[in-house]
Amino acid sequence: MKEKKVSKKAVSLADLQNKKASGDKITMLTAYDYSMARVIDEAGLDIVLVGDSLGMVALGYGSTVPVTMEEMIHHCRAVRRGVNRALLIGDMPYLSYQVSKKEAVRNAGLFLKKAGCHGVKLEGGSVMAPTIEKIVKAGISVMGHIGLTPQTATALGGYRVQGRDLESARKLLEDARAVVDAGAFSLVLECIPSALAKIITGMVPIPTIGIGAGPHCDGQVLVTNDLLGLFEKFTPSFVKRYANLAPQIKEALDDFIDEVKRGVFPGPEHSFGGGEELLEELEAENK
């Protein structure tokens, strides 16, 4: 594959807005540690999201709900060290912004102050609009998120497509307008019909980022562990696996175990030579 040139210029909010205007698609992936963040950043992704999905793919929780602010800040700080050019967004975990606007602003600020993020993402439409507005007025960039909102999926009837009927579709249009009016710089659309995502994308002046929302959004996001085939517990139907690394990793581990047990590894090429004279002297001293 031909090596592509990746601009070293830092991605700005203006760049994302320009991409929407020009039709140049925005790319976003998740990262939870330094090594993966560095690879993603060097690949040329526009946005790196430290998603609360880390609760499931990195910490082994059954959902995103148990994730704490401390865990998010810890992982954001690690990712920050690997990101030099992409826009870095921290996902606000459950109950870090729902209790009060004052607490929401304080917690959002920690993503910038302690972890070096460029902005935060939070779930919710019209109900959360006043909170988004308060955070934005504090000088913190906010990415909205409507449709399927995993933190409150139970209240939505589980992990299923949203906006299939006229009433719920109208509600999502209302949510989108509210998030825009509150000052968000972009909007994630999760698990909604492609046709509805197209309407919202054409209606709002800010970039939309789709996940399970079809091809008409201004950009796309996936959980990196899903994209690479590293998370085997389940794979959402909207995910495309661009690699299937888990079986390859298991095969490599099996080979390691086998070679260690057979004495094949480490071989001469993995060992340090020399020291024979020193060894003879030590043997003589210990006779």
Using CA of residue 81, residue 83, residue 87, residue 91, what is the dihedral sign?
negative
> Is the CB of residue 170 less than 8 Å from the CB of residue 214?
no
Beta bridge partners of 29: 48, 222
Q: Mind telling me the catalytic residues?
A: 190
Q: DSSP assignment, residue 126?
A: G
Q: DSSP assignment, residue 272?
A: -
Distance CA 15, CA 28 (A): 14
Q: Which two tokens stand for residue 150?
A: 């995993």
Distance CA 165, CA 181 (A): 25
At 51 the three-state DSSP class reads: coil
Distance CA 209, CA 167 (A): 23
